Homo-oligomer: A and B are copies of this chain.
Amino acid sequence: MLETMNEVKVLRDPIHGYIHVRLNVVWECINSAPMQRLKRIRQLGGAFQVYHTAEHSRFSHSLGVYEITRRMVEEIQDLRQGLSEEEKVTVMLAGLLHDLGHGPFSHAFESVTMTHHEQMTRRIILEPSEVHDALVRCDPSLPEKVASVIDHTHPNPVLSQMISGQLDADRMDYLLRDAYFTGTKYGEFDLERILRTLRVRQGKLVVKESGMHSVEDYIMARYHMYWQVYFHPVSRSFEAMLTSLFCRLKQMARQDHPDLKRLPFLIPFLSDGPVSVQDHFLMDEPACNYGFNCLRMSEDPIASDLAGRLLDRRLFQDEALSEKGQRERLRCLLMEQGWDPEYYLLSDEVRQRPYQPYQGMENSMAWVLMETGEIRELSQASEIVEALVQGQSRNDQRLYYPRQLQRY
């Protein structure tokens, strides 16, 4: 039963002006403990080590995704008239809740702990939790429906496209939000124009030809945000060091190291066993940061060193991987100078092109409704995007090691 509230609640938001909440179930989900926990997890992991104001949380992003989804179902005529009331609330809730399963410093954490935020999101929605209970109070079938939008199994594919496709509320919010909070301008694009030109045709979200330039701009914004923010080498250095520290902690856990006693919340994540929804609930950035402060005093020199470096921003230096033997030479130097390369020689590789439609992967494609009525895949409609698809992709491989390493 879709109870509306007496008065629309509004939450001030710098990106959207206000977040508007009319439905009781949405309000209850926002006020649930698992959603409030997202205030304790930063949206951008280590990017605040490059852009010092990138301190915004996944909570505010989640509200933003909800708000764009809400505007879509209320302002895009094809959705307002084409979706049932139940589909509308389902997709708005999917937008709001889609990030529930994230842990702290997302990628680094997941890579070591073998958790997957998508699965955890699903579990929080489907297993007993304040969120689950709020959904059930509204409609017992709601948890399953919301989860199915998030994992792309809902019978109406448009719902999934709205929160995770090429022109989805998730990306549209995070580009604008991350641009605002980093203070860069690369992520800006014309959200109003895209919303005004979205239509539904043949079970797909499509953008009218007259809005195509806004989409081109959005594709470029995304590309620039990747290289200037998400893939910034300093941010990657921070995340590589986090990964290294977590590996060390797992190693210590295997040896039942006494210092871990003081970090009970971390323990479930350091074995390869399953973690419970409750374990996950208690694992947030404050827990990690507190833990790192404790580890400064650890007997384990590597854990202690890495933890202090992470907190005090004494990050590893980065170097492009450009020649054969480079890694091996660094490894030797590190060993000579007493650093264990397993924890002190790190590397990663990132790769991105502005847009890449894959045959058979609907979600990788954006669609344009031409003035003639024809529907074309974006790179078939835009000279700019066509050029980008045919051009080279950009990739970057880097090595990371302590700044103190002596080079000869």
Q: Which residues of A contact B (CB under 8 A)?
A: 10-15, 17-18, 31-33, 36-37, 39-40, 48, 51-53, 55-57, 59-60, 63, 180-186, 188-190, 192, 196, 213, 216-217, 220, 223-224, 227-228, 265, 282, 284-291, 293, 311-314, 354, 383-384, 386-388, 390-394
B190, B383, B394: which contacts A394 (Cβ < 8 A)? B383
B59 touches A56 (CB 8 A): no
**Residue on B nearest A33 in the bound complex, by CB:** B312
**In the complex with contacts A12-B183, A290-B287, A384-B354, A53-B56 CB distance below 8 A:** yes
Interchain Cβ contacts under 8 Å between A and B, 19 examples:
A12-B183, A14-B53, A14-B181, A17-B183, A18-B192, A36-B311, A39-B52, A55-B57, A186-B190, A213-B224, A213-B227, A286-B289, A286-B290, A287-B290, A383-B394, A384-B388, A386-B391, A387-B388, A390-B391
Most buried by B among A17, A40, A196, A290: A290
State how many angstroms separate the Cβ of A179 from the closest Cβ of chain B. 10
State how many angstroms separate the Cβ of A111 from the closest Cβ of chain B. 22
Instruction: Report how far A60 CA is from B183 CA in the complex, Å.
Output: 12
Most buried by B among A11, A13, A32, A293: A293
**Residue on B nearest A7 in the bound complex, by CB:** B77
B13, B48, B217, B354: which contacts A52 (Cβ < 8 A)? B13
Q: Which residues of B contact A33 (CB under 8 A)?
A: 311-312
B184 touches A189 (CB 8 A): no
Q: Which residues of B contact A52 (CB under 8 A)?
A: 11, 13, 39, 57, 59-60, 63
A223 touches B384 (CB 8 A): yes
State how many angstroms separate the Cβ of A246 from the closest Cβ of chain B. 17
Most buried by B among A52, A213, A391, A393: A52
Instruction: Report how far A36 CA is from B282 CA in the complex, Å.
Output: 25
Q: Is the interface of A mostly helix, strand, loop or mixed?
A: helix
**Residue on B nearest A185 in the bound complex, by CB:** B190
Q: Which residues of B contact A394 (CB under 8 A)?
A: 383
A17 touches B192 (CB 8 A): yes
Q: Which residues of B contact A354 (CB under 8 A)?
A: 384
Most buried by B among A10, A59, A220, A228: A220
Q: Which residues of B contact A190 (CB under 8 A)?
A: 184-186
A213 touches B196 (CB 8 A): no
State how many angstroms separate the Cβ of A49 from the closest Cβ of chain B. 9
Q: Which residues of B contact A312 (CB under 8 A)?
A: 31-33, 36
**In the complex with contacts A60-B53, A188-B188, A287-B290, A196-B10 CB distance below 8 A:** yes
B184 touches A217 (CB 8 A): no
B10, B186, B188, B391: which contacts A387 (Cβ < 8 A)? B391
Instruction: Report how far A36 CA is from B192 CA in the complex, Å.
Output: 27
State how many angstroms separate the Cβ of A363 from the closest Cβ of chain B. 23
Which A-B residue pairs are the 10 nearest by beta carbons?
A: A387-B391, A14-B183, A286-B289, A286-B286, A290-B290, A387-B387, A33-B312, A286-B290, A383-B392, A12-B183
Q: Which residues of B contact A288 (CB under 8 A)?
A: 286
Q: Which residues of B contact A15 (CB under 8 A)?
A: 183
Q: Which residues of B contact A311 (CB under 8 A)?
A: 33, 36-37, 40
Instruction: Report how far A2 CA is from B391 CA in the complex, Å.
Output: 49
State how many angstroms separate the Cβ of A307 from the closest Cβ of chain B. 12
B217, B282, B289: which contacts A40 (Cβ < 8 A)? B289
Instruction: Report how far A236 CA is from B47 CA in the complex, Å.
Output: 31
Q: Which residues of B contact A18 (CB under 8 A)?
A: 192, 196
Instruction: Report how far A33 CA is from B282 CA in the complex, Å.
Output: 27
**In the complex with contacts A39-B48, A213-B227, A184-B12 CB distance below 8 A:** yes
Instruction: Report how far A314 CA is from B57 CA in the complex, Å.
Output: 19
**Residue on B nearest A292 in the bound complex, by CB:** B286
Q: Which residues of B contact A289 (CB under 8 A)?
A: 40, 284, 286-287, 290
